[in-house]
Amino acid sequence: MNLSLYHLVREPKVKQEKNPLLLLLHGYGSNEEDLFSFAAQLPDEYFIISARAPYNLPPYGHAWYAINFDEDMNKFSDEIQAKESRDLIGKFIDELIAAYPIDNEKVTLIGFSQGAILSYAVALTYPEKIARVAALSGYLNADIIEKNFQHKDISKLRFFISHGIVDQVIPVEWARKAPEFLKTLGLTEEYHEYPIGHGVAPQNFYDLLNWLQAH
């Protein structure tokens, strides 16, 4: 199926007329197979679809947007590319709903690292397309969310946020700002920290599964 983003699919084991979707968005330098390794452990009623980011990073990685360094080795994101990927994911969701029997009211994004950063931006820019977000080891970058997003109905969005307290890639302090920001918008969030680095601990995955089933 020729859609905007290359992707892997695990069809639901429990077929309904329309099934909910878990859309997996990997991190910088990774690929669609990374988070898809979780697919067998995710609930049976979901379509599990893992997308490959559009920018190639040799030898076999991909990115949603470039991360550049200046002469003082300060790191900064290519926010033009980030917004383009945000909009591309929004378009890709529409394509998936047209291509598969997916319930458009039950779309959940699960993003890791850069994929989590994009998940926040997609959900707040396109709240009519997203029900829930699981943001793993990422942070909320308000600069890549559509301006005036508060004018849309964002009230139904739900967030699961998790981070390692010794994350050497994205400091936990950055992650902690997201729940505070979401609370100012009146949104529901569940926040967890774990004694790990930049990754997903077994307890983190267990808490994510509980959240998926509870909401």
Q: What is the pLDDT of residues 120-173, one digit of tens each?
A: 999 999 999 999 999 999 999 999 999 999 899 999 999 999 999 999 999 999
| pLDDT for position 59 | 81
Instruction: Specify if 200 maps to a domain.
Output: yes
Instruction: Specify if 177 maps to a domain.
Output: yes
CATH of residue 17's domain is: 3.40.50.1820
List, for residues 77-119, the tens digit of each pLDDT value: 789 999 999 999 999 999 999 999 999 999 999 999 999 999 9
| pLDDT for position 60 | 84
Number of Cβ within a 10 Å radius of residue 176: 14
- Residues 63 and 78: their CA atoms lie apart, in Å, by 11
List, for residues 35-88, the tens digit of each pLDDT value: 999 898 999 999 999 999 999 988 889 999 988 765 555 667 789 999 999 999
| pLDDT for position 137 | 97
Q: Quote the number of domains for the chain.
A: 1
Instruction: Specify if 1 maps to a domain.
Output: no
Query: Which residues form the domain of 141?
Result: 7-214
Yes or no: say if 188 and 152 are a contact pair by the CB < 8 Å rule: no
Instruction: Specify if 71 maps to a domain.
Output: yes
Instruction: Specify if 2 maps to a domain.
Output: no
Closest to 15 in 3D by CA, of 49, 39, 50, 46: 46
Report, as an integer, the average pLDDT of 8-19. 94
| pLDDT for position 71 | 59
- Residues 103 and 95: their CA atoms lie apart, in Å, by 13
- Residues 84 and 65: their CA atoms lie apart, in Å, by 9
- Residues 70 and 72: their CA atoms lie apart, in Å, by 5
**What is the reported pTM?**
0.94
Instruction: Specify if 66 maps to a domain.
Output: yes
Going through the chain in order, the beta strands assigned E by DSSP cover 7-10, 19-25, 47-51, 55-57, 61-63, 67-69, 75-77, 102-112, 132-136, 158-164, 188-194
